[in-house]
DNA sequence: ACAACTGTGGCAAGGGGTTGTCAAAAGTTG
DNA sequence: CAACTTTTGACAACCCCTTGCCACAGTTGT
């Protein structure tokens, strides 16, 4: 079912198609009376400009794509929500793509969307740097939870967050922590580990690492067992999902939390406040990150690739203290 | 940055543009050798057909829109995930829209996308029947968690689910339940209430209703207080979010669950298995609902509106028994 | 050897808009 | 009232691709 075209409006209004077009896009080039008349006729006919015809000419699509590494992770919901809201606010459409933790799928989907979106928000992209750089030459790209010199990004301040975590653990008397690492291709996993290690070093605390693990509840058992093997008194899991799995395994093995070990997660997903014991976790305004990412992208899409150095939005994190951490035994 | 066009390929290959086009879309209309050659040249140039130019001609967009009434609700994530996967499998793009519980926004967004998508999946649409019917005349529509004679839909079998809930409560000795209702414009709220009432009647159980409530955790306090006022021993909340809020309020008021009252939710969101006490809730394969909805839509988009009566996919529900329900005091 | 096919590939129109160019209409000035 | 400036609107090309129609070359049949 096709709607009325600019021709229909032109005929009905008794003017040329170009006049109709200009009545919408270049009001100054059309007489006020004519313009009113055209607009009225268009309104009455229910005319809506065809976005494809427009895009064909301008290569402007009023659409942004958001690619997430794993849509299954509840943490992304907030991010997606923020992005969706920001896009809608500017009358942009948000296309959602799930990369299923695969660089291959991610790249393929991006290629497919390349000609029909104005830019990409890549959340926790698993793509190698070269691919990202190459992509950025073709369309504006904003990274989320990842950094690459030269590209704009939006993320939470995990370096400071890791410092908060270590400080918190330190104040509880912990002298030995272990990081339950995320996937090898995850930039975040690398960043968190290095930030934790640095902070631990500064505090004179020992820091070990086990993993990598796929950050899902189901992997928590494996991660917990590996972490117990290190003898650490504090477990810092790559994210809340993994942390919750760890909690479950520890309960199964009758290891008290926080009596025997303390557990910390990342993301502060909804469930972190409901599990038992409630999870101490590094939270932040994820929706704002999504919002910021789209915002940067829209600006870039309008201005073109020009402009100064790429924007880098870093939002603060805050440690949400709950019952999964306590003084060392 | 614009990619190579069919003209570039034609020139490079020394053939007419129509030949290039046919080499891709109508292989039988082109000689095998020519075709190979064209394909090779296109590949080498990195040619990708422009989807807009295509859409302009065919009104076929390889895109479906999914509109959810409230993207904040974790329950939708499964649905979105299933829909995204199914769309991707057929090389379709999924556009995500959040209606923010507003029929007005919902309609506006739909209008905006009308010319550029092949169809709509409307999840828990708040739109009045007339709007839906009118929309369905313009584009294929599949409803989720809602029914309207004449339109295809995908949903969980809540009528049977409510029966399971009542049966479960009955077997625990409950003689009086109360339904903590969802929003007035929610078809699901109406359906659940009527199914619960019928099932309760059959079991000789008294059924009350309080509400409506916005189904969020924050509303749980209000809902719990209202429900306590009825004297019922079993609370059936419109969804898990509301149920979790109820649980929190009951704990606050020192009402034992399940010692004093039993609580049941709907959806079986991830958090339902983690809260305290763990929530008995009516679960189902929500991702499969999303998958099915897109599947129906794609079939409709290909076949046109023709075909027999609209498809109606009803997936089974199952009551997940946990600790929030128990024998009546 | 000629007619009748069949398989290929080219031409050109069209899908819905935008926009540079230009002519006609309207308004201004002396 | 002529000469000139400013509005206003029409024409046509272009964005990229698809497709109906036609022409041509090569086959086959008689």
Full 3-state SS string of A250-318: HHHCCCCCCCCCEEEEECCCHHHHCCCCCCEEEEECHHHHHHHHHHHHHHHHHHCCCCCCCCEEEECEE
Protein residue with the closest CA to the C1' atom of nucleotide C17: A53
Do residue B261 and residue B171 come from a single domain? yes
Nearest to B244 by CA among B214, B219, B213: B219
Residue B261: its pLDDT value, please? Answer: 96
Lowest mean pLDDT among A117-131, A289-303, B28-42, B190-204: B28-42
Q: pLDDT confidence of A241, banded at 50, 70, 90? A: very high
Do residue B203 and residue B293 come from a single domain? no
Q: Are strands B262-266 and B206-210 parallel, antiparallel or unpaired?
A: unpaired
**Does residue B18 lie within 7 Å of nucleic acid chain C, judged by its CB?**
yes
The domain that contains A225 carries what CATH number? 3.40.50.2300
Residue B12: its pLDDT value, please? Answer: 87
In terms of residue numbers, what domain contains A44? 6-49
Q: Cβ separation of B72 and A84 shorter than 8 Å? A: no
Do residue A96 and residue A234 come from a single domain? no
Asked if A244 reaches chain B (Cβ–Cβ under 8 Å), the answer is: yes
For chain A, how big is the Rg over CA atoms in Å?
25
Residue B220: its pLDDT value, please? Answer: 95
- Tens digits of per-residue pLDDT, A181-240? 999 888 999 999 999 999 999 999 999 999 799 999 999 999 999 999 999 999 999 999
Q: Are B179 and B208 within 8 A, CB to CB? A: yes
Nucleotide nearest to A59 (CA to C1'): D15
Residue A26: its pLDDT value, please? Answer: 80
In a domain, B302, yes or no: yes
Residues 6+ apart with CB under 8 A from A32: none
Residues in chain B with pLDDT values less than 50: none
In a domain, A326, yes or no: no
C-alpha to C-alpha distance for A240 and A267, rounded to whole angstroms = 6
Q: Which residue has the tokens 């020992």?
A: A206
Do residue A163 and residue A278 come from a single domain? yes
Asked if B108 reaches chain A (Cβ–Cβ under 8 Å), the answer is: no
Do residue A310 and residue A271 come from a single domain? no
The domain that contains A17 carries what CATH number? 1.10.260.40
C-alpha to C-alpha distance for B237 and B217, rounded to whole angstroms = 11
Q: pLDDT confidence of A1, banded at 50, 70, 90? A: low
In a domain, A305, yes or no: yes
C-alpha to C-alpha distance for B167 and B196, rounded to whole angstroms = 10
Q: pLDDT confidence of A46, banded at 50, 70, 90? A: confident
DSSP annotation of A108: H
- Tens digits of per-residue pLDDT, A69-104? 888 888 888 899 999 999 999 999 999 899 888 899
Phi, psi of B234 (to 5 degrees): -130, 130
Do residue A167 and residue A140 come from a single domain? no
What total number of domains does chain B contain?
A: 3
What is the DSSP track for A91-152?
Answer: T-EEEEEE-TT-HHHHHHHHHHHGGG-S-EEEES--S-HHHHHHHHHHS-EEEES---TTS-
Instruction: Give the one of B109, B115, B270 whose C-beta lies nearest to A51's C-beta.
Output: B115
Residue A115: its pLDDT value, please? Answer: 87
Asked if B71 reaches chain A (Cβ–Cβ under 8 Å), the answer is: yes
CA of B22 and C1' of C11: distance in angstroms? 15
In a domain, B167, yes or no: yes
Instruction: Give the one of A80, A109, A271 whose C-beta lies nearest to B271's C-beta.
Output: A271
Q: Which of residues 167-196 of B touch A (CB under 8 A)?
A: none
Q: Cβ separation of A56 and B53 shorter than 8 Å? A: yes
Q: Are A232 and A178 within 8 A, CB to CB? A: yes
- The structure tokens listed for A279 are 């999870």
CA-to-CA separations, A59 to A19, A67, A258, B59, in angstroms, rounded: 22, 21, 56, 18
C-alpha to C-alpha distance for A54 and A52, rounded to whole angstroms = 5
**Taking CB atoms and an 8 Å cutoff, what residues of chain B touch A3?**
114-115
A177 forms bridges with which residues in the sheet? A207, A234
Asked if A93 reaches chain B (Cβ–Cβ under 8 Å), the answer is: yes
In a domain, A253, yes or no: yes
In a domain, A246, yes or no: yes
Do residue B194 and residue B107 come from a single domain? no
Question: If residue B281 lies in a helix (H) or strand (E), which one and from where to where?
Answer: strand B280-284
B180 forms bridges with which residues in the sheet? B210, B237
Q: Which residue has the tokens 């339904």?
A: B179
Do residue B184 and residue B291 come from a single domain? no
Q: Are strands A317-320 and A280-284 parallel, antiparallel or unpaired?
A: antiparallel
Instruction: Give the one of A50, A112, A115 whose C-beta lies nearest to B50's C-beta.
Output: A115
**Taking CB atoms and an 8 Å cutoff, what residues of chain A touch B115?**
3, 48, 50-52
**Does residue B5 lie within 7 Å of nucleic acid chain C, judged by its CB?**
no
Residues 6+ apart with CB under 8 A from B57: none
Nearest to B288 by CA among B154, B159, B151: B154
Q: Are A142 and A119 within 8 A, CB to CB? A: yes
Do residue A100 and residue A44 come from a single domain? no
C-alpha to C-alpha distance for A29 and A16, rounded to whole angstroms = 13
Q: Are A151 and A141 within 8 A, CB to CB? A: yes
**Taking CB atoms and an 8 Å cutoff, what residues of chain A touch B61?**
52
Do residue B227 and residue B300 come from a single domain? no
When the pLDDT of each residue in chain A is averaged and rounded to a whole number, the result is: 90
Q: Which residues of B98-128 are buried (b: 16+ CB within 10 A; e: fewer)?
A: bbbbeeebbbebbebbbbbbbbbbbbbbbbe
Do residue B272 and residue B188 come from a single domain? yes
In a domain, A325, yes or no: no
**Does residue B34 lie within 7 Å of nucleic acid chain C, judged by its CB?**
yes
Q: Which of residues 25-54 of A touch B (CB under 8 A)?
A: 48, 50-53
A180 forms bridges with which residues in the sheet? A210, A237
Give the residue, B112 or A31, on which the prediction is more confident: B112
CA of A79 and C1' of C15: distance in angstroms? 38
Mean pLDDT within A47-66 = 89
Asked if B311 reaches chain A (Cβ–Cβ under 8 Å), the answer is: no
Nearest to A310 by CA among A97, A86, A155: A155
Q: Are A119 and B109 within 8 A, CB to CB? A: no
Q: What stretches of chain A adopt beta strand conformation (E)?
A: 63-68, 93-98, 120-123, 141-144, 153-156, 176-180, 206-210, 234-237, 262-266, 280-284, 312-315, 317-320
Q: Are B302 and B140 within 8 A, CB to CB? A: no
Lowest mean pLDDT among A37-41, A164-168, A246-250: A37-41
Residue B307: its pLDDT value, please? Answer: 61
**Taking CB atoms and an 8 Å cutoff, what residues of chain B touch A75?**
none
Asked if B72 reaches chain A (Cβ–Cβ under 8 Å), the answer is: yes
Residue A305 has pLDDT above 70, yes or no: no
- The structure tokens listed for A125 are 């992209």
* Interface test mutation site (partner B, options A96, A110, A243, max chain B beta carbons within 10 A): A96
User: How many residues in total does chain B contain?
Assistant: 329
- The structure tokens listed for A326 are 């306590």
Do residue B276 and residue B265 come from a single domain? yes
In a domain, B323, yes or no: no
């Amino acid at each position: 079912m096709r709607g009325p075209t600019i021709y229909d409006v032109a005929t009905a209004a008794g003017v040329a198609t170009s006049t109709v077009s200009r009545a919408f896009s270049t009001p100054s080039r059309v007489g006020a009376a004519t313009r009113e008349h055209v607009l009225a006729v268009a309104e009455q006919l229910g005319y809506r400009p065809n976005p494809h015809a427009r895009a064909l000419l301008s290569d402007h699509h009023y659409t942004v794509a958001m690619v997430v590494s794993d849509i299954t992770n509840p943490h992304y919901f907030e991010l997606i929500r923020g992005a969706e809201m920001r896009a809608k606010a500017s009358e942009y459409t948000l296309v959602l793509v799930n990369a299923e933790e695969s660089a291959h799928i991610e790249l393929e989907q991006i290629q497919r969307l390349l000609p029909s979106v104005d830019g990409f928000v890549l959340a926790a992209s698993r793509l190698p740097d070269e691919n990202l750089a190459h992509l950025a030459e073709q369309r504006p790209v904003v990274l989320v939870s990842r950094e690459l010199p030269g590209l704009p990004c939006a993320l939470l301040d995990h370096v400071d967050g890791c410092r908060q975590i270590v400080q918190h653990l330190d104040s509880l008397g912990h002298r030995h922590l272990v990081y339950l690492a995320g996937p090898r291709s995850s930039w975040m996993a690398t960043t968190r580990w290095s930030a934790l290690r640095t902070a631990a070093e500064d505090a004179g605390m020992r820091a070990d690492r086990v993993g990598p693990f796929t950050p899902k509840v189901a992997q928590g058992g494996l991660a917990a067992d590996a972490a117990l093997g290190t003898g650490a008194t504090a477990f810092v899991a790559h994210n809340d999902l993994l942390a919750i799995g760890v909690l479950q395994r520890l309960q199964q093995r009758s290891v008290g939390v926080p009596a025997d070990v303390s557990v910390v997660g990342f993301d502060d997903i909804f469930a972190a406040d409901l599990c038992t014991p409630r999870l101490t976790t590094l939270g932040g305004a994820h929706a704002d990150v999504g919002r910021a990412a789209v915002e940067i992208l829209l600006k870039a899409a309008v201005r073109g690739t020009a402009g100064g150095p790429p924007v880098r939005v870093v939002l603060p994190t805050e440690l949400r203290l709950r019952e999964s951490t306590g003084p060392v035994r």
